[in-house]
């Protein structure tokens, strides 16, 4: 988990790529989702995770139509110290950093500093003339060919750039040797090293989760002329009063930092050593990734989610225009992008600008429940948030458990809110 067209897209492809967007608010008033019975069901679900040993601690916060309708927490933020999980607990949000980075990037889009189909190399020349992996020769040497088209900024916002991961052994060796995600690298050094690696596929051909959002962070630095973490603070955190969201947790707040727990194959939950779990967030590293690394609290991340459901603003803070939020929450994946890694496991979804976007109702009750037009993402320690524009509902779910959600907490939490999916009439 630590591990973007000079040529205009055909009009038909553009229309296809943007076919799913946030539904308009219905003319009729929808019944409230979170009522007394639903609150009781959520309580039972969350408490059950802890009582059944599925997680050490869990918390959740839900807003509906501008009001807090649910909060509770169960279990421990730090089991060994006997410190309970609560709404002030600071957690590692891992990839829930990505939507924050996307919002930062799109504030610069609104200033006219780039277009989505601009070549990335227009602003970051390291990424010009990229090569694509073709295989290996008889001696194990890597074979490449020129990329069919440049990486675009749209590619890095929807994970279609082709940056390599660890799945292909020959490329994995190069990735390891490059050390491009070393915590001692600046974003500039990260990008320089990443750009030397062959792409896994031609830009736009596949969906492959990886380093695209870290490149977005570098692009934010280049376009804004400010360090990425400083830009986040000035453009998002300070206006939204997200005062508990940081890469480096202040000394005075570290007593609120949750422990991280690992679930073994037999279900045992063991504490990840603090020296490993806390290393990134308790030392001042050069690297400020766009794809992971932030810590936050329920209330802080809920402010971010509420800004999105309110189409870019919260109280007096205006972060984005409504049209920009809609652009972000629209699937940018055309049907030609048929290879989508594990994205289909999230449900009937496409991908927008740093969010998965639900494009169709669940196919059955086994699939994650949710509303068409919902956009969301999650994090490696099994955290989750979503924005449901139809019901004007936002939910944030926190726990600190790896590997990612092996016991279907997200599925059960969604079912506790919406009810078990019973067919298209439910949506």
Q: Could you say which of 190, 224, 258 is where a domain stops?
A: 224
Considering the domain architecture, whether residues 394 and 305 belong to the same structural domain is answered as yes
SS3 254: helix
Q: What's the confidence (pLDDT) of residue 421?
A: 86
The answer to whether position 17 is within a domain reads: yes
Q: Could you say which of 192, 224, 256 is where a domain stops?
A: 224
For the stretch 190-207, pLDDT in tens is: 999 999 999 999 999 999
Helix or strand (DSSP H, E) at 12: helix 11-17
Query: What is the dihedral sign for C-alpha 46, 52, 53, 54?
Result: negative
Considering the domain architecture, whether residues 215 and 301 belong to the same structural domain is answered as no
Considering the domain architecture, whether residues 244 and 170 belong to the same structural domain is answered as no
Residue 168: give its domain's CATH number. 1.20.58
Q: Report the candidate in 409, 385, 420 with the shortest Cα–Cα distance to residue 58.
A: 409
In order of 147, 163, 169, 337, 352, the CA distances from 205 in angstroms are 11, 12, 21, 6, 16
Q: Report the candidate in 293, 298, 295 with the shortest Cα–Cα distance to residue 397.
A: 298
Considering the domain architecture, whether residues 64 and 163 belong to the same structural domain is answered as no
Q: Could you say which of 168, 199, 224 is where a domain stops?
A: 224
Q: What's the confidence (pLDDT) of residue 427?
A: 46
pLDDT < 50 positions in the chain:
1-22, 24-25, 27, 426-427
The answer to whether position 97 is within a domain reads: no
Q: What's the confidence (pLDDT) of residue 350?
A: 96
Tokens for 149? 């088209």
Count CA atoms within 13 Å of residue 292 on its CB side. Answer: 18
Q: What's the confidence (pLDDT) of residue 172?
A: 96
Q: What's the confidence (pLDDT) of residue 423?
A: 73
DSSP string, 137-181: -TTSPEEEEE-SS--BHHHHHHT-S----SSSHHHHHHHHHHTTT
Residue 20: give its domain's CATH number. 3.40.710.10
Considering the domain architecture, whether residues 212 and 243 belong to the same structural domain is answered as no
Q: Are 213 and 101 in contact (CB under 8 A)?
A: yes
Tokens for 246? 């940081």
Full domain range(s) for residue 157: 107-224
Tokens for 326? 């809609």
Q: How far apart are CA 206 and CA 22, in angstroms?
A: 24
The answer to whether position 351 is within a domain reads: yes
Helix or strand (DSSP H, E) at 394: strand 393-399
Helix or strand (DSSP H, E) at 101: helix 97-110
Q: What's the confidence (pLDDT) of residue 15?
A: 35
Q: Are 74 and 264 in contact (CB under 8 A)?
A: no
User: Phi, psi at residue 244, to the nearest 5°?
Assistant: -110, 20
Q: Are 262 and 95 in contact (CB under 8 A)?
A: no
Q: Are 90 and 296 in contact (CB under 8 A)?
A: yes
DSSP string, 301-312: HHHHHHHHHTTS
Q: Report the candidate in 256, 253, 242, 180 with the shortest Cα–Cα distance to residue 211.
A: 180
Cβ-Cβ contacts under 8 Å for 402 (sequence gap 6 or more)? 260, 261, 262, 263, 272, 380, 381, 382
Considering the domain architecture, whether residues 164 and 285 belong to the same structural domain is answered as no
SS3 313: strand
Q: Are 120 and 127 in contact (CB under 8 A)?
A: yes
Cβ-Cβ contacts under 8 Å for 115 (sequence gap 6 or more)? 109, 153
How many domains does the structure of the chain reveal?
A: 2
For the stretch 159-199, pLDDT in tens is: 999 999 999 999 999 999 999 999 999 999 999 999 999 99
Q: What's the confidence (pLDDT) of residue 30?
A: 78
């Amino acid at each position: 988990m630590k591990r973007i067209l000079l040529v205009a897209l055909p009009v038909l492809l553009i229309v296809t790529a943007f076919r799913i967007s946030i539904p308009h608010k219905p003319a009729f008033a929808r019944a409230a989702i979170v009522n007394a019975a639903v609150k009781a069901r959520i309580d039972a679900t969350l408490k059950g995770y802890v009582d059944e040993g599925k997680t050490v601690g869990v918390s959740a916060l839900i807003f509906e139509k501008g009001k807090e309708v649910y909060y509770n927490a169960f279990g421990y933020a730090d089991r060994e110290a006997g410190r309970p999980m609560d709404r002030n607990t600071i957690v590692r949000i891992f990839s829930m950093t990505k939507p924050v980075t996307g919002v930062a990037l799109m504030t610069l889009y609104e200033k006219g500093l780039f277009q989505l189909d601009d070549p990335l190399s227009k602003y970051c020349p390291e990424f010009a003339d990229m090569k694509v992996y073709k295989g290996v020769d008889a001696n194990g040497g890597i074979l490449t060919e020129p990329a069919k088209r440049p990486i675009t900024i749209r590619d890095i916002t929807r994970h279609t750039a082709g940056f390599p991961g660890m799945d292909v052994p020959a490329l994995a060796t190069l990735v390891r040797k490059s050390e491009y995600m070393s915590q001692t690298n600046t974003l500039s050094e990260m990008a320089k090293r990443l750009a030397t690696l062959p792409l896994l596929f031609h830009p736009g051909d596949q969906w492959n989760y990886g380093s695209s959002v870290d490149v977005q962070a570098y692009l934010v630095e280049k376009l804004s002329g400010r360090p990425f973490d400083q830009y986040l603070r000035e453009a998002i955190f300070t206006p939204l009063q997200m005062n508990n969201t940081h890469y480096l947790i202040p000394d005075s707040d570290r007593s609120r930092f949750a422990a991280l727990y690992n679930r073994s194959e037999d279900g045992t939950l063991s504490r990840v050593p603090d020296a490993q779990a806390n290393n990134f967030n308790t030392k001042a590293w050069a690297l400020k990734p766009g794809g992971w690394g932030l810590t936050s609290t329920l209330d802080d991340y809920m402010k971010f989610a509420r800004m999105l459901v309110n189409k870019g603003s919260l109280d007096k803070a205006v972060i984005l225009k409504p049209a920009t939020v809609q652009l972000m929450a629209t699937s940018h994946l055309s049907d030609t992008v048929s290879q989508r890694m594990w994205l289909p496991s999230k449900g009937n979804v496409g991908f927008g600008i740093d969010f998965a976007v639900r494009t169709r109702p669940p196919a059955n009750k086994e699939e994650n429940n949710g509303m068409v037009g919902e956009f969301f993402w999650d994090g490696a320690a099994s955290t989750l948030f979503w924005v449901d524009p139809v019901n004007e509902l936002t939910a944030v779910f926190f726990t600190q458990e790896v590997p990612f959600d092996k016991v279907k907490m997200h599925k059960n939490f969604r079912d506790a809110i919406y009810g078990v999916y019973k067919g298209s009439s439910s949506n």
